[in-house]
Amino acid sequence: MKVIYKVTYPNGKIYIGQDLTDSITYFGSINNELVEKDFTREQKRDITIRKEIIWESDNATKSEVTRKEFELIKLYKSNDPSIGYNQLPKYR
């Protein structure tokens, strides 16, 4: 199963990514420095992150999954730095 997921951090910011293996422990290739700067040392001591599957397919190709991921990044505006942590596609 190929999935696209949405991760929500305690500050409300989101990250949308894809997982071609549907692993329960995979949380994406997010830029750690972007997230780190939004949290204090104390906040990092106890953190809850939510992961939701927002799209799935048994037979989509990798390129179809990538197209859908970008579509959902734009829909959720997770590439807007005030909303999320996705860096691509570039926010305009």
pLDDT in tens, 63-90: 999 999 999 999 999 999 999 999 999 9
User: How far is Cα 47 from Cα 3, in angstroms, rounded to an integer?
Assistant: 24
**Domain that includes residue 61, residue range:** 2-76
pLDDT in tens, 24-72: 999 989 999 999 999 999 999 999 999 999 999 999 999 999 999 999 9
- Assigned domain for 11 exists: yes
Looking at the structure of the chain, the number of domains it has is 1
- Assigned domain for 89 exists: no
- Assigned domain for 85 exists: no
- Assigned domain for 23 exists: yes
- Assigned domain for 15 exists: yes
Question: Which pTM does this prediction carry?
Answer: 0.93
- Assigned domain for 16 exists: yes
